[in-house]
Structure 1
Amino acid sequence: MTQATPDVPRPAASGPIRIQRRIRVEPQLAARRLDQVLAALIPELSRSRLQLWIESGQVRVDGVARRSRDKVWGGELIELDAPIEPVGDCLPEAIPLNPVFEDEQILVLDKPAGLVVHPAAGHRDGTLQNALLNHAPELARVPRAGIVHRLDKDTTGLLVVAKTLEAHRSLVEQLQARQVHREYRALVIGEVVAGGRIEAPVGRHPTQRTRMAVVAGGRPAITRYRVLERFVGHSLLAVELETGRTHQIRVHMAHTQHPLVGDRAYGGRPRPPKGASAGLVEALQGFPRQALHALRLGLEHPTLGTAMSWEIPLPADLAELLERFRGEARA
């Protein structure tokens, strides 16, 4: 058997937490690429991460830096000494969280509207990442405090966090393989005739850099949707993601001329239907965010291998707006 030191992230005397391994290559692994050998011996880390470490010289074979494609022949000593991506100056903050499920590997949260996921310009603190570091300090050892996918600031609903490197690798691979099921509820402008599938590349807007758009050179993006309810001038959709691009649902629905209610960035300014009651007009004009909620989440548990899924109710603001629409229909 190939022998290796335990894979325990550890802090150096000062500086970021590091992963340090010493692995003796056994003959049965001969004639394989270095990155393939490391991926087989350290399965909790992604091959892409290992390749980056190899190419940056943080992996040595018999004391010499090698390339990912270089082969090993058995008997070599591989030494890995690499930092886990720091969380920068992101500090723990006592921000309330609403856990839906938690064990040693994953944490599933119900994210409220108004909570930014990652620190960024204009939001250096008060983010979900700050809250996670307070909730579970060990998340400082996981890239981006375990956040493997995101919800926009004003989108509510289910979000999963990896609590270990092993869980992080598994969830990233599931997302890349489109094996994570994500279903949303979206209230859009316009009476959508039928469900459909939107396949249109999403990238940075060519002139408005804070927005995304359907652009020829964008990344592949696929969204599926079906109609749940129709109201006058509006529709409630069930939306499922096959990919996870920034603002994907918002961009794709605006691309089909059905922007989300409340989404001022993508054309969802209030459009009260003709003859709407004063209450509905006021509710639409005062709705402060895009009407989007991550309702269901399904994935395979990183270590147990069992299928797991969660569903949470609509947030109060969206549920109330839908009830106003239903009340108009009954009047």
Structure 2
Amino acid sequence: MQNTSSYVNNDADYNDDFEFSAASDTENCLNFTVPVALAGQRLDAALAKLMPDYSRSRLSAWIKDGAVLLNGETAQPKAKLIGGETLQVAVQQSEENLAFTPEAMDLDIVYEDDSVMVLNKPAGLVVHPAAGNWSGTLLNGLLAHCPALAAVPRAGIVHRLDKDTSGLMVVAKTLPAQTHLVQQLQARTVKRIYRAVADGVVPFDGKIDTLIGRDPHNRLKMAVVKFGGKPAVTHVKVLERYRAHSYIECALETGRTHQIRVHMREARHPLAGDPVYGNPRHPASDEVKAVVKGLARQALHAYRLSFVHPQSGEEMSFEAPLPEDFYHLLSVLRLEAGLDSSLSHAEEWQAKFAEDEDYWDEDDYDVEIVYVKE
């Protein structure tokens, strides 16, 4: 049973705000000690923070069904908490909590020790269970690979990649490591650099600085918004320009949902193959169109990841080679533009872009801000 004993903000980068104890007496029962930080809150609201992997409506139903005991007695949803109380929750089986089941799968593990794991996620793999994807996710695979992750909120996942985005992710294997990594994400000291192919000849290097929130016209999408969004900053650097596409690098300061995809769409250069935000306005040959269609995903890869090791304090940096489908797209684009095929000189060609870790710093850009929504 997954131990969901930490309050986690459901954003692109997870955030643990409270520290408290939780234990499981049986497979289907969780015991909590209410943290003082939740004093004054209603039971139903507090429980939603203590068990963020369950919907609030489901938790409220459990309370009404008598599945939640407060200090050993049947609880009421409106009961006010003072901190220090004991909560006993009899977890009711459902698709939602059965999702936290170990499932053996091949994981491309780049690095692993007692505190952290760095892996190269393939395109097509969902990171976390949700409606429509209750099994076969990265979380399920992590629980099978390391059963001890059942004691860490969200099986140690501290940031996400979209289903069809490939590349590097770091996973915490202990609660202290997770807290440390989350603090680094909050402080924006984790370096996350992506490689992508954008539609059109991108004319700029620079910073895209906007607010991102739910699309007011389609709640399933994100968008640049004027009000109510969260700050989102993406640094963009063009590596190569082709006839109707560009090979770009994007460095994240923030980690909003679909951030790079939304920002490049807003800059009128959506990512090639993006099924949600793509709407190519730039002409391309039939051959390139066929390759992009065959990609069956957005051309986006989490290429480099750097962070401070939670235990040793050592600066760690990892790179994940571009996947084969991405290389094939670049090969076709380069050949069409009269350049050498990237596939015939893969290592040599890749090395031309491998510069100093800080080569994407703001001072290297031609302009400070590329686009800000007014």
TM-score category of the 2 structures, normalised to the smaller one: 0.7 to 0.9
1:72 matched to which residue of 2?
A: none
Structure 1: gaps of 5 or more residues: 1-6, 22-33, 36-48, 60-64, 68-77
Unaligned 5+ residue runs, structure 2?
1-19, 38-45, 51-68, 72-80, 340-374
* Paired residue type of 1:287: L
Letter in 2 for 1:247: H
1:230 aligns with 2:241: yes
Aligned match for 1:11, one of 8, 24, 42? 24
Q: CA RMSD for the aligned pairs?
A: 3.2
Q: Deviations over 1:112-139 (max 9, x none)?
A: 0100011111111111111111111111
Q: State the 1:12 CA deviation.
A: 1.4
How many angstroms apart in 2 are the aligned matches of 1:293 and 1:58?
47
Matched residues in 1 for 2:304 and 2:70: separation? 40
Q: 1:297 aligns with which of 302, 305, 311?
A: 305
Q: 1:220 to 1:8 in 2, by over 3 A?
A: closer
Q: Counterparts of 2:160 and 2:153 in 1: how far apart (Å)?
A: 14
Counterpart in the other structure of 2:222: 212
Q: Distance in 1 between matches of 2:323 and 2:191?
A: 20
Determine the C-alpha separation between the residues in 2 that align with 1:12 and 1:270. 58
1:209 shift after superposition: 1.2
Of 208, 212, 216, 1:198 maps to: 208
1:264 aligned counterpart, secondary structure: coil
State the secondary structure of the residue aligned to 1:183.
strand
2:138 counterpart letter in structure 1? L
Aligned to 1:123: 133
Counterpart Cα distance in 1 of 2:242 and 2:131: 39
Distance 1:99 1:82 in 2: 37
Q: TM-score, normalised by structure 2?
A: 0.68
What secondary structure is seen at the aligned counterpart in 1 of 2:276?
helix
- d(CA) in 1 for partners of 2:86, 2:281: 56
- Sort the Cα spacing of 1:326 and 1:134 in 2 relative to 1 into closer, same or farther, 3 A: same
Deviation digits for residues 258-277 of structure 1 (CA, Å, limit 9, x no counterpart): 1000012112459552xx3x
C-alpha separation in 1, matches of 2:230 and 2:70 = 30
Residue in structure 1 matched with residue 145 of structure 2 by the alignment: 135
Q: 1:135 to 1:58 in 2, by over 3 A?
A: farther
Task: With the length of structure 1 as denominator, give the TM-score of the two structures.
Answer: 0.76
Deviation at residue 312 of structure 1 after TM alignment: 1.2
Give the aligned length: 282
- With over 3 angstroms needed to count, the CA separation of the structure-2 counterparts of 1:308 and 1:9, relative to structure 1, is farther
Label 1:324 to 1:14 Cα distance change in 2 as closer, same or farther (>3 A). Answer: closer
Conserved 8 A contact 1:204-1:211? yes
Checking the alignment, whether the CA contact within 8 Å between 1:101 and 1:108 is kept in structure 2 is: yes
Does 2:175 match 1:165?
yes
**Aligned residue number for residue 190 of structure 2:** 180
